[in-house]
């Protein structure tokens, strides 16, 4: 199988590579994964898709380093954090104790671990549960703790297996923002999510697990500006500091920019360019706050794009 690598900064060394990786359970079990090659570079955002039971979670566990390949090898082991599909919530700690302990395991000293635990719980709207025993948390709240534990120690590779499941709407949006921020800051994120709208248009690459192999999906973003404007678009709502002008590069990437409030802007951008737009906004000085990223469902825009396509042909 040809090895595909996602968009990466020019010349960046891979964080981690899977080379000819295969995984099966049990000595004679069927191969769940076979001949998988994958290179994860700094800043890459990779989506993994596939039908139920095809091996997505297996792949993510191997990437996260909590499961070993049966054959093949893994080159590199960045500082990695993982949010599993099922989080063992019935632990004999409060949320804050658990996070502080894990922070220490990840190398933070105790005061730094306490601060990081508080900050992440706050950010995901779970600060009020900090002193609640984990066993008493609802599924959604314990999922917030699962996400917080992964973000505590600034991972270079974040692996999210259905991490949005069970989160409330605000926390789901927050996690999308965190993913965009982390990749803009140079960390890699690999995720599985059953909702096709999750981070739609943002990943650098989408892979599907099919028959144990990894196939590069059709909706791979190029991350680079292209002349094409036809095709699906993404709506990015972002807020700049009051009085800040839209970064010129963001204006060039977008088909349209609308000011919706003081500092608040709505960018409509062709899907392949959405990642570049997000990086531009988050990398601006001062950085823009990305409020939401979602698909465009606007018949007028579809007509306008069709007209543009005709004009440019």
- Interaction site with ligand ATP (CB under 6 A): 25, 32, 50, 52-58
Asked if residue 179 lies in contact with residue 45, where contact means CB atoms within 8 angstroms, the answer is: yes
**Nearest-10 crossing angle of helices 139-151, 95-105:** 20
Asked if residue 206 lies in contact with residue 217, where contact means CB atoms within 8 angstroms, the answer is: yes
Least distance between ligand ATP and beta carbon 156 (Å): 23
Which CB atom, from 194 or from 197, has the smaller least distance to ligand ATP? 194
Residue written as tokens 């001062």? 286
177: its two tokens:
């923002």
Phi/psi of residue 258, nearest 5 degrees: -125, 130
Which CB atom, from 84 or from 270, has the smaller least distance to ligand ATP? 84
Which CB atom, from 57 or from 206, has the smaller least distance to ligand ATP? 57
Which CB atom, from 56 or from 172, has the smaller least distance to ligand ATP? 56
Least distance between ligand ATP and beta carbon 161 (Å): 7
Half-sphere exposure of 53 (CA within 13 A, CB side): 1
Least distance between ligand ATP and beta carbon 145 (Å): 21
The CA distances from residue 43 to 12, 13, 100, 281, in Å, are 10, 11, 27, 15
With the CA atoms of 220, 223, 225 and 226 taken in that order, what torsion angle do they form, in degrees rounded to the nearest 10? -20
Residue written as tokens 């709208």? 197
Least distance between ligand ATP and beta carbon 50 (Å): 5
Which CB atom, from 32 or from 171, has the smaller least distance to ligand ATP? 32
Least distance between ligand ATP and beta carbon 312 (Å): 41
Which CB atom, from 153 or from 190, has the smaller least distance to ligand ATP? 190
191: its two tokens:
């995720």
Least distance between ligand ATP and beta carbon 17 (Å): 20
Other residues' Cβ atoms within 10 Å of the Cβ of residue 246: 18
> 30 CB contacts (<8 Å, ≥6 apart)?
24
């Amino acid at each position: 199988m040809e090895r595909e690598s996602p968009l990466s900064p020019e010349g960046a060394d891979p964080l981690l590579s899977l080379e000819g990786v295969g995984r099966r359970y049990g000595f004679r079990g069927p191969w769940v994964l076979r001949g998988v090659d994958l290179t994860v570079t700094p800043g890459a955002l990779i989506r993994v898709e596939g039908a139920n039971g095809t091996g997505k979670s297996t792949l993510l566990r191997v990437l996260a380093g909590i499961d070993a390949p049966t054959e093949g090898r893994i080159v590199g082991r960045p500082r990695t954090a993982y949010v599993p599909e099922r989080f063992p919530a019935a632990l004999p700690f409060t949320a804050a104790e658990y996070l502080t302990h894990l922070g220490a395991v990840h190398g933070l000293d105790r005061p730094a671990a306490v601060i990081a635990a508080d900050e992440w719980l706050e950010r995901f709207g779970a600060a009020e549960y900090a002193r609640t025993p984990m066993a008493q948390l609802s599924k959604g709240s314990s999922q917030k703790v699962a996400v917080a534990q992964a973000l505590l120690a600034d991972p270079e590779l974040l692996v999210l297996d259905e991490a949005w499941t069970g989160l409330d709407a605000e926390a789901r949006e927050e996690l999308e923002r965190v993913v965009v921020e982390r990749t803009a800051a140079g960390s890699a994120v690999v995720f599985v999510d059953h909702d096709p709208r999750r981070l739609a248009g943002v990943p650098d690459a989408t892979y599907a697990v099919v028959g144990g192999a990894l196939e590069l999906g059709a909706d791979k973003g190029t991350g680079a500006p292209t002349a094409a404007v036809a095709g699906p678009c993404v709506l990015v709502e972002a807020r700049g500091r009051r009085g800040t002008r839209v970064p010129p590069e963001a204006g060039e990437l977008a088909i349209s920019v609308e000011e919706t409030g003081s500092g608040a802007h709505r960018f409509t951008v062709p899907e392949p360019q959405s990642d570049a737009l997000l990086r531009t906004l988050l990398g601006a000085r001062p950085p823009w706050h990305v409020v939401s990223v979602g698909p465009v469902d606007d018949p007028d825009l579809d007509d306008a794009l069709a007209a543009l396509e005709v004009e440019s042909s």
